[in-house]
Amino acid sequence: MPLVTMRQLLDEAAAGNYGVAAFNVNNMEQIQGIMEAAQETQSPVIIQASRGARSYAGDRFLYHLMLAAAETYPEIPVALHQDHGNSPETCISAIELGFTSVMMDGSLAEDGKTPLDFEDNVAVTRKVVEYAHERGVTVEGELGTLGGMEDGVGSGEICLTDPEQAEEFVARTGVDALAVAIGTSHGAYKFSREPDGDILAMEIIEDIHRRLPDTHIVMHGSSSVPADVVERVKAAGGEVDAGFGVPISAIQRGIQHGVRKVNIDTDGRLAITAFMREHYRDKPGDWDPRGPGKAARAGQKFICMQRMVELGMAGHAQDYTPMTLEEMAARYAAAVGSPA
C-alpha cells in the first residue's frame, strides 16, 4: 500500500469515533517498532517527522525508510506527516519530498519561538493549504501555543486557543485539522500534579467541536509520561525529570468531542530509554549495536501498542480503501476551497 493522506485517516476515525496516534520518529528502529505494533493491532497510523528529525536522519534516508515501511506492511494505511513546519518553505519541501501531510505551525514565527499574530498565522497557513490541496496533501494548522520545547520549537508560554477565533481561522484557511492549546506542554515534564479542570481546559475542545463539527481536532503534547516506564528508566540507572503527563482518560474524553489526531513523542522516547538501559544493565558486555537497537524497537512497539488500543484505533486498518493523492486533489478541487 502506498503512503496515504492523513485527511482520509482522520475522516475514517471520525466516522468510527476513535483517535489516531501520531508518533514522532528519528530512525529505523522507531519506525519498525511502530509498524510492528500497527500490524499486531491492525491499526492505521500517522508517522511524523519534525524538522529536527529530518536534519538528524537526512531527508532521503527518512523518506525511504517510510517507503520501506509501506512496502513491508502493505495492509497498514500509513500517513507521513511533517510536524511543526515553521514556514511555507519547510512544508513545501516536505510535500516535494513525498510527505502526504504537513503541519504549518503559524502560531509561532519562523524562529519557532516568537508567537505570531493571528493575521500572519492565517496568511502563512492559507498559503500552505493552497499549495498542498492542489496536490492532494493534508494540512494541519495551529492556533494558540503550548508550553515546553520540542526539538527547539516552542515559545515556552501557554496561550489557550480561543474557540471563536478558531472558527474564523478554519473558515479563512481551509485547514483539514486544527491543533489546539488546552494547557498541555511538550516534553516529559508537563504538570507538577495530576491535571484537572483547572490545568487542562478540555472544555475548549468541546466548544470548538460544537462550532466546527467537521474539522479534525489535534492534541499536541499528549504523552501520558507513564509512571511505570519512568520507574523502569530510574531502576536501570537513568535520571528523568518527569512530572505528570496527560491522562489517557482526558485523551479519550477529547476523542468523544472531535479529537482525531493525538501526538505522542515523549512516551516513545521514555520507553526506548527504559528498554535500552535494561539491555545494557542485563548484558554489560554487549558491544554489538544490534542488541540495544532491538531493545529500542521493542520499547517503541510496547508503548505504541498500548496507545493504539487506548485510542480505539486498533482493528481499523482494513476498514476502507485508501485514496490516492490525485483522488484527494480532485476532492479538494470539487469542494472549491472548503475544508471539507
- Which residue segments constitute the domains of the chain, with CATH numbers given? 6-331 (3.20.20.70)
- The pLDDT profile of the chain, 340 residues, written as one tens digit per residue, is 679 999 999 999 999 999 999 999 999 999 999 999 999 999 999 999 999 999 999 999 999 999 999 999 999 999 999 999 999 999 999 999 999 999 999 998 888 778 889 999 999 999 999 999 999 999 999 998 765 445 555 445 678 899 999 999 999 999 999 999 988 765 665 565 666 555 678 899 999 999 999 999 999 988 889 999 999 999 999 999 877 789 999 999 999 999 999 999 999 999 999 999 999 999 999 999 999 999 999 999 999 999 999 999 999 999 989 999 999 999 999 986 444 4
Closest by CA position to 56, among listed 35, 28, 79, 37: 28
pTM: 0.91
Report the alpha-carbon distance of residue 308 to residue 42 in Å, rounded: 9
Polymer length in residues for the chain: 340
Placement of cell 500500500 in the chain = 1
For the chain, how many helices (H) and strands (E)?
A: 13, 8
Q: Which of 301, 55, 137 is nearest to 293 (CA)?
A: 301
pLDDT for the residue numbered 244: 79
> Could you tell me the sign of the dihedral formed by the alpha carbons of 69, 309, 294, 102, in that order?
positive
* H or E element that contains 322: none
CB 146 within 8 A of CB 181: yes
Cβ atoms of residues 9 and 79 within 8 Å:
yes
The sign one gets for the Cα dihedral 58, 64, 67, 72 is negative
Phi, psi at 273, each rounded to 5°: -60, -45
Q: What are phi and psi of 13, to 5 degrees?
A: -65, -40
- State the helix-helix crossing angle for 266-282 and 28-41, rounded to 10 degrees: 110
Three cell numbers, residue 8: 482520509
What was the pLDDT predicted at 113? Answer: 78
Provide the annotated active-site residues.
83
